[in-house]
Copies of this chain bind each other. A is one copy, B any other.
């Protein structure tokens, strides 16, 4: 099993890198990382209080076996660790340990750890090499690929950050078995997203393989993760820094979803749950704007329901507050809301200037 590995290349010239996807490959991580970053002698592994007890030891052991001296930095699990205070504590720790430019930062965890560790890598000593080892489904298919890193301010998620590509992404799918069921389902929201925005056949594949996916059947799991990484790699190659609009398609459901997360203080819903509501709002809006028929919106909702994801917008939320939060999204341009709306299964478009009353109608 160990040798059955899929490789997705993110082709970004001198910033290009491989994503390797397989089962039980964490024990080989040291040698695999060394194969990408030759001469590596020193690494800092950043992880969190949930993941480190499970996987830090085998990772650091494999680094040690490869001749890489690794230090472990563990942060509390959860979104609050993506803070200036936590970043400052790590910067000071790296300084105290005399970490220099020859050191590689390795993120071992979900999206929070990847975003925080990547921000540290992007900024310490003006930039260190970086490796991602995602441990949640959401991170494997989304945040570990593409180089978006960052931290939050009290009033804005991911508002401080950078584009900082890793040198290598190692995805050991067997780590996902330890994931809480709710987290696994939330990750499926992003997986389904890729079908809707870019690949109608993939959407159909998910529809016909729900049971295998839920059972983590190895071949099926590898296929869905590889397909998502490939779609994301293609989009990132075309528009690394989200300037042309192409990369923005990945934000399908996210402008609505971020407003839901913000209005509920990032406590009530997981990211995947919030963007499920967001994607369903976007689909309903598209139906109202006659961009798609109701059947497509229903088909999307039906697949979300297969993974027990919340398709109905939380009724406790105030429509006007959500609209205001959408206007403040950092992807807004001078307060104009830019939405990603589907036109058919497997295709979305960027739409500016949707009238407020149309947005309010679906909130």
The proximity string for A residues 88-128 relative to B, scoring 1 for CB distances below 8 Å and 0 otherwise, is 10011001101011100000000000000000001111110
Cα distance, A297 to B51, chains bound together (Å): 57
A179 at the interface (CB under 8 A from B): no
Please, how many residues of chain A have a CB less than 8 angstroms from a CB on the other chain?
38
Cβ contacts under 8 Å, A124 to chain B = 159-160
This chain: how many copies in the complex? 2
Can you give 23 A-B contacts (C-beta < 8 A)? A41-B334, A84-B88, A91-B159, A92-B153, A92-B154, A92-B155, A95-B153, A95-B156, A98-B335, A100-B332, A122-B162, A123-B160, A123-B162, A124-B159, A125-B159, A125-B330, A126-B148, A126-B150, A126-B158, A127-B162, A127-B163, A127-B241, A162-B162
A308 at the interface (CB under 8 A from B): no
Cβ contacts under 8 Å, A158 to chain B = 126
Check A333–B100 contact: CB distance below 8 A.
yes
Cβ contacts under 8 Å, A102 to chain B = 333-334
Cβ contacts under 8 Å, A156 to chain B = 95
A58 at the interface (CB under 8 A from B): no
Check B161–A126 contact: CB distance below 8 A.
yes
A96 and B155 contact, Cβ closer than 8 Å, known pairs A84-B88, A125-B330, A241-B127:
yes
A328 at the interface (CB under 8 A from B): yes
A307 → chain B closest CB, angstroms = 30
Cα distance, A101 to B150, chains bound together (Å): 15
Cβ contacts under 8 Å, A328 to chain B = 98
Question: What residues of chain A have their CB less than 8 Å away from a CB belonging to chain B?
Answer: 41-42, 84, 88, 91-92, 95-96, 98, 100-102, 122-127, 148, 150, 153-156, 158-163, 241, 328, 330-335
Cα distance, A42 to B333, chains bound together (Å): 11
A101 → chain B closest CB, angstroms = 7
Cα distance, A183 to B155, chains bound together (Å): 40
Cβ contacts under 8 Å, A154 to chain B = 92
Residue of B nearest to A120 (CB): B160
Cβ contacts under 8 Å, A148 to chain B = 126
Cβ contacts under 8 Å, A330 to chain B = 100-101, 125
Which of B96, B126, B162, B335 is within 8 Å of A126, CB to CB? B162
Cα distance, A334 to B40, chains bound together (Å): 12
A209 → chain B closest CB, angstroms = 35
Cα distance, A333 to B98, chains bound together (Å): 10
Given contacts A98-B328, A100-B330, A101-B330, 6 further A-B contacts (CB under 8 A): A95-B156, A100-B332, A100-B333, A123-B123, A123-B160, A124-B160
Cα distance, A22 to B91, chains bound together (Å): 40
A14 → chain B closest CB, angstroms = 10
Cα distance, A88 to B83, chains bound together (Å): 11
Cα distance, A333 to B126, chains bound together (Å): 15
Residue of B nearest to A103 (CB): B334
Cα distance, A105 to B335, chains bound together (Å): 19
Cα distance, A335 to B153, chains bound together (Å): 35
Cα distance, A118 to B310, chains bound together (Å): 42
Cα distance, A84 to B126, chains bound together (Å): 15
A25 → chain B closest CB, angstroms = 29
Cα distance, A98 to B159, chains bound together (Å): 11
Cβ contacts under 8 Å, A332 to chain B = 100
Residue of B nearest to A122 (CB): B162
Cβ contacts under 8 Å, A334 to chain B = 41-42, 100, 102
Cα distance, A332 to B42, chains bound together (Å): 14
